Structure 1
Amino acid sequence: MLAPALRRLARVPQPITLTGREPQTSAAELLAGLVPPPQFARASFDSYVPDPAHPSQAKAQQALRDLGEQLLRPARKSLFRKAAPPPSIYLDGGYGVGKTHLLASLAHAVGSERSAYGTFVEYTHLVGALGFAPCVKELSTRSLVAIDEFELDDPGDTVLMSRLLRELADAGVSLVATSNTLPEALGEGRFAAEDFLREIQALAARFTVMRIDGEDYRQRTGRPQSTGHTDDAVREAVDASTAGGAVVSLDAWRPLMAHLARIHPSRYGRLVDGVDAVALTGVDQLDDDMVGLRLVVLIDRLYDRGVPVRLGGAGVADIVSERMLTKGYRKKYYRALSRLGALAALPLPGERAAS
């Protein structure tokens, strides 16, 4: 028989590991998941507070509000005139100005049965899971397809998304996208964009571009100055949270980065579902864009869910190299650092917020 002390130890809750998870998603689950993420489950046009110093925010808010009302009106049919193409809007602006909030608000206003909401990577994976024609057929039943974090990282995505959006627009679907890059500059610095200029120009021509100016509402300019903790401090914080019943993951940095390479980015959300906090030990600096881009997606999914993060080792500001912050993906990295800084400032379950 176990001694009393060992029996008590055996009942102590233990952290889980993300590297021990192998998430899977079916095509039906992917379709059901085309809704705004938990972080924006209650987002509305009324809860978006535009900055008076940047009138473009209020202008974008009103434009999307008007579009939502338009999409809810019964369509007028004419025997003599071809229906006008549906309105499509491209929200361009820096990170932290509320583009995702507005996009989620529009999807909520139109309703889940008439809209589809997803990130760029989720739509590309949906095509892979369903096949191109079934994907077009399914999305064509919606009045609105909302695409968050629109970016072109490779030529294949350029051709795929150009064709997908063309067929959806021809089917009468309104398209609204958000990005940190103007549509005619998509792919710039990532691949030989000039070789795919026609596809990129075709994408750009389908949108009315609206620029949203402003400062990052997370109160950060450039790289957050969050410092890392010692690995021991991270483990102690994890022990305290798990002892209180929270589900906390604890992983070593490099093994987790290797694990992400074995999972399609569209499944990163499922990877962290049900996790109350994420803790990492041995965090050091990355200088590999393939690893960095996977990390960006993971941070986005954590941010969607408002999951607190603790880093042991390097702090938020130092997890990507200076080289990565000066090349083609720099806007993605800066957005990810801003979001990670916000998550690192959140208290772990059972921990008091910093005053």
Structure 2
Amino acid sequence: MAPIQHLTHRTPQVTADELLAGFHPSHRFGEVSFDSYRPDPSQPSQSEAVQRLRDFAAGIGSASGGGLFGRIFGGRRPAAKAGIYLDGGFGVGKTHLLASLWHAAPGPKAFGTFVEYTNLVGALSFRKTVEVLSGYKLVCIDEFELDDPGDTVLMSRLMRELSDAGVKLAATSNTLPGSLGDGRFAAVDFQREIQVLADQFDVARIDGEDYRHRGLPQAPEPIGDGELEEYASSRYGDRTLAVDDFAELVRHLSSVHPSRYRQLLDGIDVLVLHNVHTITEQSLALRFVVLADRLYDKDVPIVASGAPFSELFTQEMLAGGYMKKYFRAVSRLTALAREGQKGEVLL
């Protein structure tokens, strides 16, 4: 019988030092490289992005053009942008490329999602975060999205101060830097901050379709609820299962800060969910998006009953300001369900 845990019984505590120690690519991207990225031959922008990132990596740590020293002794040469920004739809391999850059660059360096950096500021204070990250050569920010005005001001200040300190920046997003915040809040009122962010980056566009769906069947049919645990136990032997009722897990996420979701999944090999259904409250849906990202980072297969993950969010959510977050979550959860129920392993 497989060992069984329940995520709803866990309330992890995470120190600031533990948060900092976790700023590296996840297990899924722990050994990726530019060579292991598979560009789509029909999408030349993918191969072009690889070369641009190789060139960017080669310039990290060089003495010319960066920081205060470069501004004092660099004459009138135009300043190079502090960062590179990978723009493209979900599933085109942006995170793979960002992690490849992190692996190729000299240290010290940091790699985290946008929400992990905002959580870091909350844990350390803004000034301490700047002090710590200013000593790094490279800061990588995955899934860069601005969901509220406070984050806009916070991240524009953080990126500006890190750029001034000579830190190289790299980010991924489904939205061009000048359009961050559109559809979520009155972005026009914060255009200055948004422009500060945009000015830090050269943009590399990556076109293509979601590789997780390329030539693959649709999401597997959910398993009957009465067969669910027996199916998971028989398929995964002595691996550790987290078995939870979906509604209870969604409620439990409200009591755990999103910065702790990575630790919430510590030691879990497979997630078994009873009675998946559509989430109708946006605050809960956004928390589940963060959990989906952490599940995908840790490559935790999913076995589930109830509704398919394509029905996880309402049509209003999928058409609203957070639509890209929701579609990314559906894409990733579908990939994990294929892995859990069909044995399809996707990078």
TM-score by length of 2: 0.92
Alignment of 1:156-175 (within 5 A): 156-175=150-169
Which of residues 177, 191, 199 in structure 1 aligns to 2:193? 199
Are the counterparts in 2 of residues 86 and 173 from structure 1 also a CA contact under 8 Å?
no
Q: Which amino acid aligns with 1:24?
A: Q
**What are the superposed Cα offsets for residues 49-96 of structure 1, whole Å, 9 maximum, x if unpaired?**
211211111111111111111114455767743594553111110011
Q: Which amino acid aligns with 2:99?
A: A
Q: Tell me the distance in 1 between the aligned counterparts of 2:251 and 2:229.
A: 21
Partner of 1:64: 53
**What are the superposed Cα offsets for residues 99-147 of structure 1, whole Å, 9 maximum, x if unpaired?**
0000000101114x32110000000011111111111011011111100
Instruction: Specify whether residues 167 and 85 from structure 1 end up closer, same or farther in structure 2 by C-alpha distance, changes over 3 A only.
Output: farther
Q: Which amino acid aligns with 2:300?
A: V
Q: Which amino acid aligns with 2:260?
A: R
Are the counterparts in 1 of residues 3 and 239 from structure 2 also a CA contact under 8 Å?
no
Which of residues 100, 104, 109 in structure 2 aligns to 1:109? 104
Please report the RMSD computed on the Cα atoms of aligned residues, expressed in angstroms: 2.1
Which of residues 223, 227, 233 in structure 2 aligns to 1:229? 223
Q: Tell me the distance in 2 between the aligned counterparts of 1:14 and 1:270.
A: 18
Q: Tell me the distance in 1 between the aligned counterparts of 2:104 and 2:344.
A: 36
> What residue ranges of structure 2 are gaps of 5+ in the alignment?
none
**What are the superposed Cα offsets for residues 206-231 of structure 1, whole Å, 9 maximum, x if unpaired?**
1111110011111259x954322221
- % identity of equivalent residues: 52
Alignment of 1:195-274 (within 5 A): 195-219=189-213, 224-240=218-234, 244-274=237-267
Are the counterparts in 2 of residues 147 and 176 from structure 1 also a CA contact under 8 Å?
yes
Alpha-carbon distance, 1:286 to partner: 1.3
Partner of 1:322: 315
The 3-state SS of whatever aligns with 1:199 is: helix
Residue 292 in structure 1 maps to residue 282 in structure 2: no
Partner of 2:182: 188
Are the counterparts in 2 of residues 120 and 151 from structure 1 also a CA contact under 8 Å?
yes
**What are the superposed Cα offsets for residues 131-176 of structure 1, whole Å, 9 maximum, x if unpaired?**
1111101101111110000001111111100100010001011111
Q: Tell me the distance in 1 between the aligned counterparts of 2:109 and 2:61.
A: 11
The 3-state SS of whatever aligns with 2:226 is: helix
Q: Tell me the distance in 1 between the aligned counterparts of 2:173 and 2:134.
A: 23
Partner of 1:3: none
Q: Tell me the distance in 2 between the aligned counterparts of 1:213 and 1:340.
A: 22
Are the counterparts in 2 of residues 115 and 142 from structure 1 also a CA contact under 8 Å?
yes
Which piece of structure 1 moves more, 35-44 or 278-287? 278-287
TM-score by length of 1: 0.90
Partner of 1:7: none
Q: Tell me the distance in 1 between the aligned counterparts of 2:55 and 2:18.
A: 31
Which of residues 16, 21, 32 in structure 2 aligns to 1:43? 32
> What residue ranges of structure 1 are gaps of 5+ in the alignment?
1-11
Q: Tell me the distance in 2 between the aligned counterparts of 1:72 and 1:199.
A: 27
Which of residues 264, 274, 282 in structure 2 aligns to 1:281? 274
Partner of 1:90: 85
Alpha-carbon distance, 1:311 to partner: 1.5
Instruction: Specify whether residues 86 and 292 from structure 1 end up closer, same or farther in structure 2 by C-alpha distance, changes over 3 A only.
Output: same
Partner of 2:324: 331
Alpha-carbon distance, 1:197 to partner: 1.6
Which of residues 95, 119, 123 in structure 2 aligns to 1:100? 95
Q: Which amino acid aligns with 1:231?
A: D
Instruction: Specify whether residues 86 and 203 from structure 1 end up closer, same or farther in structure 2 by C-alpha distance, changes over 3 A only.
Output: closer
The 3-state SS of whatever aligns with 1:218 is: helix
The 3-state SS of whatever aligns with 2:250 is: helix
Residue 353 in structure 1 maps to residue 343 in structure 2: yes
